[in-house]
Amino acid sequence: MSELTTVARPYAKAAFDFAVEHNAIAQWQDMLNFAGAVSSNKEMHQYLTGAVAPDTLADIFINVCGEQLDQHGQNLVKVLAENKRLAVLPDISEMFDAFKAEYEKQVDVDVTSAIALTDAQKSELSATLEKRLARKVKLNCNVDPALIAGFIVKAGDTVIDGSVKSKLNRLADALQA
């Protein structure tokens, strides 16, 4: 997977820089998400990994995408087809999304709690995390009754575990040591 990431990064960065320059980030994100979904399709993947000429492959891909791709998106598809890189479109789309989030200073935060959070709790948690992370926060809330009480917050590499379950596990480990 890291090889695909390495291959996808320059294309994603170039697409993102172009989108920023032309004030079309949302449009490019939509195009890349759609193209990535097409590329992930099982039947299309057979074409992408088969022995099809790059020009023919680009034409097929562009026809499948239809009006979802503008002229610049079609040019990207042609370049990717020439370099036999259409299969990395899902990775390019994912990296583009990451560049967008970084550009907009936004982070997705997964919150797992023992019970459903109220709107007031969500807004308070969101405000606290925005201060701590210095970014706009988008909460993705889940419920796991096994936590007993409290919650676990995951934002990228940062994990804040305030659940009773983990505190009990740490206490048990300390008592056994």
pLDDT above 50: residue 39: yes
| 117 and 144 fall within a common domain | yes
In this predicted structure, the answer to whether residue 2 has a pLDDT above a threshold of 70 is: no
pLDDT at 104 > cutoff 70: yes
| pLDDT of 3 | 65
Residue 84 has φ and ψ, to the nearest 5°, of: 55, 50
- What pLDDT score does 119 carry? 92
Q: Clarify whether residues 60 and 111 are in a common domain.
A: no
Do 9 and 27 reside in the same domain of the chain?
Answer: yes
113-156 pLDDT, tens digit each: 888 889 999 999 899 988 888 888 888 899 988 888 888 989 87
Range of the domain at 62: 2-102
Higher pLDDT, residue 45 or 139: 139
Kindly state the percentage of the chain with pLDDT values over 90: 15
What number of other Cβ atoms are within 10 A of residue 88's Cβ?
A: 25
Task: Assess whether 62 and 112 both reside in one domain.
Answer: no
Please state the pTM of the whole predicted model: 0.65
| Rounded alpha-carbon distances, angstroms, from residue 20 to 23, 27, 33, 137 | 5, 11, 17, 22
Query: Given this model, what pLDDT does residue 27 score?
Result: 92
Q: What would the DSSP string read from start to end of 62-118? A: HHHHGGGS-HHHHHHHHHHHHTT-GGGHHHHHHHHHHHHHHHTTEEEEEEEESSPPP
CA distance 175 to 88: 50
Q: 19 and 60 share a domain?
A: yes
Last residue of a domain, one of 51, 83, 102: 102
Output the domain CATH number for residue 50.
1.10.520.20
Do 147 and 63 fall within a single domain?
Answer: no
Q: Which residues contact 11 (CB under 8 A, 6 or more apart)?
A: 76, 79, 80, 85, 88, 92
Domain boundary among 102, 129, 164: 102
Task: Name which residue leads in pLDDT, 34 or 6.
Answer: 34
Average pLDDT for 21-37: 90
Rounded average pLDDT over 14-19? 91
84 and 78 Cβ atoms separated by less than 8 Å: no
Of 102, 128, 157, the residue that ends a domain is 102
Tell me the percentage of the chain whose pLDDT exceeds 70. Answer: 97
Pair 80, 7 in one domain: yes
Q: Phi and psi for 50 in degrees, rounded to 5?
A: -85, -175
Regarding whether 10 and 86 lie in a shared domain, the answer is: yes
Q: Are residues 171 and 122 part of one domain?
A: yes
Shared domain check, 40 and 70: yes
User: What total number of domains does the chain contain?
Assistant: 2
Contact 84, 55 (CB under 8 A): no
For the purposes of burial, counting CB atoms within 10 Å of the CB of 9, is it exposed (0-12), middle (13-18) or buried (19 or more)? middle
> What would the pLDDT profile of 53-76 be if each residue is shown by its tens digit?
778 788 888 888 888 888 888 888
Name the packing angle between helices 54-65 and 71-82 (round to 10°): 150
- Quickly state the pLDDT bin for 1 (edges 50, 70, 90): very low
